[in-house]
Amino acid sequence: MDEPNRPVRSTAGRTGGVLAAVLVAALAWTPGAHAAGPGGDGGAVPFTQAWGDNDDGQLGTGGGAGSAVPVTVPGLTGIRGLAAGYEHSLALLRDGTVWAWGDNDHGQLGDGTETDSGTPVRVLGLTGVKAVAAGDDFSLALLRDGTVRAWGDNDNGQLGDGTLADSSLPVQVHGLSGVKAVAGGDNHAVALLRDGTVRAWGDNDHGQLGNGRLTDSTIPVRVQGLTRAGAVAAGGNHSLAVVRDGQVRAWGDNFSGQLGNGTNIDSTTPVEVQALTGVEAVGAGLGHSLALAGDGTVWAWGDNASGQLGDGTTTDSTVPVRVRGLRGVTAIATAEEHNLAVTSSCDCRGAGPPVRPSCRCGGGPDGLPGIGPSGPGDAPAGSGSAVHAWGENGDGQLGNESTADSSVPVGVTTARGKITLIAAGGEHSLAG
């Protein structure tokens, strides 16, 4: 069932934000990102960096000041996954425990309190965690046994435990097993099962649960018509899945064209995103969507008021457009109105051993592998930096020492030369 779209809220008058969670079954999820290949130490990275807004301590530095350049989160090592909500952050460690910091008004830090923390605190009662994801004011953990835990805000049933009660401790999502990946949206969540089907729960005002209805659900419901799905994402009020042949399906809110089907009409069941094949991962923002293709290019559609489509304009698009200047991308992360991407720099997606930043891979321009056709206006994506960002930047969330929005990717100077994990929150970013 389709219905005419309704105006969406302005983020300036926020009643709830969104974090993007892009989850790929083959990876032990990095929320808000399709992770690059594992690094050393069994896939763990030595430390986390954060930048952007810090009003609630979401940078994890113990201070209140934000930063327009990456700063190190102290006290965390051996990190396997990162997630970012609207104003809180999560880190999964190699020992299977989860740590959280930032806003805790709804218990989204999972430490049994509702007290904000400017430094990481351990999420209580969680071990054996395989992946983490973050919604607006709630958090998710996928356990190695294929079950899911959730904590934080539950006004729309986004904890999936059959109630509407917030929880400052993890609770089990009802009836879920055999889960491969999870994603957190504004006030809803999505899970990919090992059999290729998809479940969703929480807010459903725009049909973002994909079950043909507009009624919220406090327990997971099956998304209609999806089989053999390989990745999922959850945005403000819409959801995405990668299906066979790398095509993308979308459902829910479509006010800005974020469903990518050439219309502005909501859909309570999945519709096909136009002209995309070979997609490996997807991301969902407040009103826009992102896709990483197998050739290392990135495509975007939907709201573009802050340049979050990365095509050099601020014009919305109801069909995918190519993000300028990015090739050889190995990871993407999507937030409310900004995005992150990791390029292989001079690793060139496995083309050989790392070489100096001025390398040429497959005949591509300096620092960019020669993968995929060039688009009009393509430009080098930073001077050898592994992380790139674009879109809204009022709090320095692009990490380029500026607070000016950018409609094309800009380089982020990180303290690690080899980034494998990224996550994008409401107005902050993480990398490791």
28 pLDDT above the threshold of 70: no
- Asked whether residue 236 carries a pLDDT value surpassing 90, the answer given is yes
Backbone angles phi, psi at 165, to 5 degrees: -95, 130
Q: Are 338 and 398 in contact (CB under 8 A)?
A: yes
Whether 97 has a pLDDT exceeding 90, the answer reads yes
| 34-79: pLDDT as tens digits | 433 333 344 688 889 999 999 999 999 998 899 999 999 999 999 9
Whether 142 shows a pLDDT value over 60: the answer reads: yes
Asked if 192 and 178 count as a contact pair (C-beta separation under 8 A), the reply is no
Across residues 2-24, what is the average pLDDT?
35
Per-residue confidence band for 165, with pLDDT thresholds at 50, 70 and 90: very high
Residue 345's pLDDT is 59
Q: Which residue has the higher pLDDT, 21 or 229?
A: 229
pLDDT higher than 60, residue 193: yes
pLDDT tens, residue by residue, 317-362: 999 999 999 999 999 999 999 999 999 854 444 333 333 333 333 3
Q: What is the DSSP letter of 173?
A: P
Task: Give residue-wise pLDDT tens across range 262-282.
Answer: 999 999 999 999 999 999 999
Nearest-angstrom CA–CA distance, 53 and 367: 30
Residue 331 is predicted with a pLDDT of 95
Q: 131 or 63, which is more confident?
A: 131
Q: Is the dihedral of CA 349, 29, 105, 103 positive or negative?
A: negative
Q: What is the mean pLDDT of residues 210-236?
A: 98
Instruction: Give the count of beta carbons closer than 10 Å to the beta carbon of residue 193.
Output: 19
Q: What is the mean pLDDT of residues 190-202?
A: 98
Q: How would you list the strands of the sheet with 88-93, edge to edge?
A: 79-84, 88-93, 98-102, 117-122
With CA atoms as reference, report the closest residue to 123 among 107, 134, 142, 147.
Answer: 107
pLDDT band at 109 (very low <50, low <70, confident <90, very high): very high
Does the pTM surpass 0.75? The reply is: yes
Give the per-residue pLDDT at 214. Answer: 98
Give the lowest-confidence range in 73-82, 229-238, 288-297, 408-417: 408-417
Cβ-proximal residues to 277 (8 Å cutoff; 6+ apart), any chain: 245, 246, 247
pLDDT band at 415 (very low <50, low <70, confident <90, very high): confident
Residue 410 scores a pLDDT above 50: yes
Which pair of tokens denotes residue 411? 């380089």
Helix (H, G, I), strand (E, B) or coil at 117: strand
**What per-residue confidence (pLDDT) applies to 244?**
87
